[in-house]
Chains A and B, each alone.
Chain A
């Protein structure tokens, strides 16, 4: 039996420690992991808990991220609670097995501390790895600060392990800006946290020796499509209600309210910035200043990136006149991901908001309040003229000549 850790009501934790503590409190059965900056302190923290008797599950330090997820898949199929953490290049190495995990319907929790992907090599935070996970069949939740990184882990376990869902889930946080920035984090006691997540309920577990199961079969044109369609159907229909129910239950327990789409000053907003991660809170500060000047600006933060909250966004954005989508990743050959997703959300709704796209913060470059003020000025001009007054895609905080597109 693992020892209980006494926590203060508010601990000063960075995002990595918050995630490590959540994994400890969820009493994960197997963590198979490989260290990579900036997620390394999650597994270091977990290893330290194990070394001091606070974890009685297995901690398997493997030889690569691909092996980490492979071990997680084997452990999850065997029948128990499984989690790990990674970033960037390691995430990229894992990608093959991410598809295996979701296709095999195994509820693994992956903490992704977002970081740029080389070349050029870069250890700092952007959303390239998060976006790479878009099509992998995982649930993707996004934390904006260490508190979220802590709370969303519990919610991720609860949703992913639900027998109507049985899909793996990622909890994202921004590399360094969240992962290495200590803030006050409201804690749950070990008992309350574990009771919220609940006891793991195995299904098709290999270790039920009286009921052998075959995992990871071959299907060709005769059955492959049905398997993928069922997985997509579960992701599109079962997951969002379970997330909303988990958010509601978590709010009742803690008073902390999460939403599928987070909004700030959106009730009467004429212009809105849509972004993810730490940028959401920066934009909220800017909106406070703009509102003081009488400008009706708002912020939309994506909390659930997969499954994509298509209908919720259409509702939230129905009266907005100009929308700026902020992507912290190079789209490499098209418009940014959030631009595409928001355009898709609005296309059949009759909303005629002017939509443009900003690429910012690659490789950990700061997004300042001054940058956001400039963006809102663009949006205001778009709202007033009812048409694009800027290039469709612009770079924010880039030195040298303007490299805008379209």
Chain B
């Protein structure tokens, strides 16, 4: 096992070796690039990467350019996980056969996918990879919508959000379903490490990525990725919105080890009301009307209940 990279402070972290170039086509204010950089910069080891079709893919590998200074592959929308699993299988085969070109170096295998590629169309492929136990990390860039194609709902889209295929209107408050609990599902696969991260809490995130890299077997990281375009907030507010998400506990930060041991890794000193988080984004603005404001209370109740559940799981250690 290689050494874990030591990171002292944000300044050092932000200037460490850059294998994801700033030259990309992502929207100004997009959290994807922050997350990807935090994942890649968490290790000095070699990386073999994949991306599923989506914002990250179409914005970073437009021929004849690439934003990636590490080997990277994209096949389709649903199979970014299996692409990297195939590469990992080849690594094992060539290691067994003594044909690796750099036999002393042990690369990390990381797949990136949006929530559409993860919660919806690629769900089966990810499940297969985790069941088979490939030594890989899957990072979901969770912006809760099909952002690349203009804002259609996914099964990660939260209730009450207005998406283009679940729009709010005269007789509809928008998305009707609760967000799928992807972390619980991945933990139920018996994965050695599952965690939710947010780019604004970079120390927490890097610690989790490094734990993930140190684990043997498939690791699932759900990374909240605030989307200026589809959540409808100003590009300069990405981190402020992310702070509201983590401090309101809409995105609680926690980890699940070996499918059972749950640890909450961030407890806000001052918990912010959920309505402050919702009110800062255009996708929820219709909830702040007489017709739909009852949903705000439901939202708060749901977030509170989840927070209680997480704390009970943490105490129970099962």
How many B residues are at the interface, by size bracket? Answer: 35 or more
Cross-chain contact B128 with A63 (CB below 8 angstroms): yes
Among residues 60 to 80 in chain B, which have CB atoms less than 8 Å away from a CB atom of chain A?
Answer: 61-64, 66, 68-76, 78-79
Cross-chain contact B76 with A74 (CB below 8 angstroms): no
CB neighbours (8 Å) of B90 from chain A are 29-30, 58, 74-76, 78-80, 82, 207
Q: Is B101 an interface residue (CB 8 A)?
A: yes
Among residues 65 to 104 in chain B, which have CB atoms less than 8 Å away from a CB atom of chain A?
Answer: 66, 68-76, 78-79, 82-94, 96-97, 99-102
Q: Is A77 an interface residue (CB 8 A)?
A: yes
Complex CA distance for A97 and B76, rounded to whole angstroms: 8
Complex CA distance for A58 and B86, rounded to whole angstroms: 10
Q: Annotate B6-17 by CB proximity to A: 1 below 8 A, 0 otherwise.
A: 000000000000
Q: Is A125 an interface residue (CB 8 A)?
A: no
Q: Is A72 an interface residue (CB 8 A)?
A: yes
CB neighbours (8 Å) of A29 from chain B are 90, 93-94, 97
Task: Indicate which residue in B61, B70, B93 contacts A212 across the interface (CB closer than 8 Å).
Answer: B70
Q: Give the distance to chain B from A227, nearest Cβ to Cβ, in Å.
A: 8
Cross-chain contact A67 with B74 (CB below 8 angstroms): no
CB neighbours (8 Å) of A217 from chain B are 61-63, 66, 74
Cross-chain contact B85 with A60 (CB below 8 angstroms): yes
Q: Which of B63, B69, B74 has the most CB of A within 10 A?
A: B63
CB neighbours (8 Å) of B132 from chain A are 60-62
Q: Is B127 an interface residue (CB 8 A)?
A: yes
Complex CA distance for A80 and B97, rounded to whole angstroms: 11
Cross-chain contact B75 with A70 (CB below 8 angstroms): yes
Complex CA distance for A22 and B110, rounded to whole angstroms: 33
Task: Indicate which residue in B64, B72, B97, B101 contacts A207 across the interface (CB closer than 8 Å).
Answer: B101
Q: Is B105 an interface residue (CB 8 A)?
A: yes
Q: Is A321 an interface residue (CB 8 A)?
A: no
Given A97-B76, A215-B73, A218-B63, A207 contacting B94 (CB threshold 8 A): yes
Q: Annotate A217-234 by CB proximity to B: 1 below 8 A, 0 otherwise.
A: 111000100010000000
Q: Which of A56, A61, A206, A213 has the most CB of B within 10 A?
A: A206
Cross-chain contact A32 with B101 (CB below 8 angstroms): no
Cross-chain contact A207 with B48 (CB below 8 angstroms): yes
Chain A residues proximal to chain B, CB less than 8 Å: 29-30, 32, 56-58, 60-64, 66-67, 70-80, 82, 96-97, 100, 104, 205-210, 212-219, 223, 227
Chain B residues proximal to chain A, CB less than 8 Å: 46, 48, 50, 57-58, 61-64, 66, 68-76, 78-79, 82-94, 96-97, 99-102, 105, 107, 124-125, 127-128, 131-132
23 contacts between A and B (CB under 8 A): A32-B86, A60-B89, A64-B125, A71-B82, A73-B83, A73-B86, A74-B73, A74-B84, A74-B89, A78-B87, A78-B90, A80-B90, A104-B75, A206-B48, A206-B71, A206-B72, A207-B94, A208-B102, A210-B102, A213-B72, A215-B71, A215-B72, A218-B62
